[in-house]
Amino acid sequence: MSNSFWKEKRVLVTGCNGFLGSWLTAGLVEAQSDVVGIIRDWVPHSLLAQLGLRNRMTIVNGDVCDYELMERVLAEYEIEIIFHLAAQTIVGIANISPLSTFETNIKGTWVLLEAARRNTTVKGIIVASSDKAYGAQEKLPYQENAPLMARHPYDVSKSCADMIARAYAHSYGTPAVVTRFSNLYGGGDLNWNRIVPGTIRSIVQGNQPVIRSDGSPKRDYLYVEDAVSGYMTLGEHIGDEDLHGLAFNFGMDQPVTALQMVNTICHISGQSNLKPIILNQAKNEIPDQYLASSRAHKKLGWHPEYSLEDGLVRTMAWYSDFLALSQ
């Protein structure tokens, strides 16, 4: 990554107080970007709050589905690059309440893209899709040219956002690119029903970790600081018109099962004696999902820096400190 590229760059991050959004905002602030963040609900325990970033950026309170707000923000702050991360990201919530997921993930995307299309200062838009957008595929790992075959609410919402972003690029010349990341983990994710934070919290509290599935689903896990480097590296290449309308996979290319992931966390924590409770209750989830990241390697020169074990050690340290302070 090039800090000189980002210095004084006017950047908008939607979803800046989410897990990835907080880490990305921290990276941009560290690179001396002029960061504007959109926040709908203030979460006092978010990583953004813990890092004290509120005083080092501009915060706009509002909803990405509000077109007039988005147009005003882009114009008044003369935004050059947009990272669109705002989304409802919990699969279980999407299954229970799909409308809020569709509203934020789909409408929020086209509202932002339309506002950006009408604003001449915007030079690049990076839209967060997901490996879930591919749906269940017979051929693995996922390649970017595979059809998007999502069937369940969260997965469909990401497929729609993904296709809308690329439609704007191909139809209107909007400088938009799409990211499809594998499962992200790292300090600051307070969604305890996710496998990494939930397992670590159980271990720190001396409880058996819980696996919602039967333990066999296979996923690729990427440490969040590698995800930030992926976003910022892609942002540095956003002026390359050949990239507009493309999607990029980002992952480790080393899938593991849910049971292997939990056992690895237990081993790193020195608690291999804690055997997981397997509920086998997961619904509307794809059995195996993992990516091929060769396009990002070749076109962007991006490669992950942290192994799974290295990333988990750093993650365990963060949660150990956080949970100790919370007691």
Catalytic sites, residue numbers: 154
* Six-digit token string for 197: 């934070």
How far apart are alpha carbons 5 and 273 in whole angstroms?
48
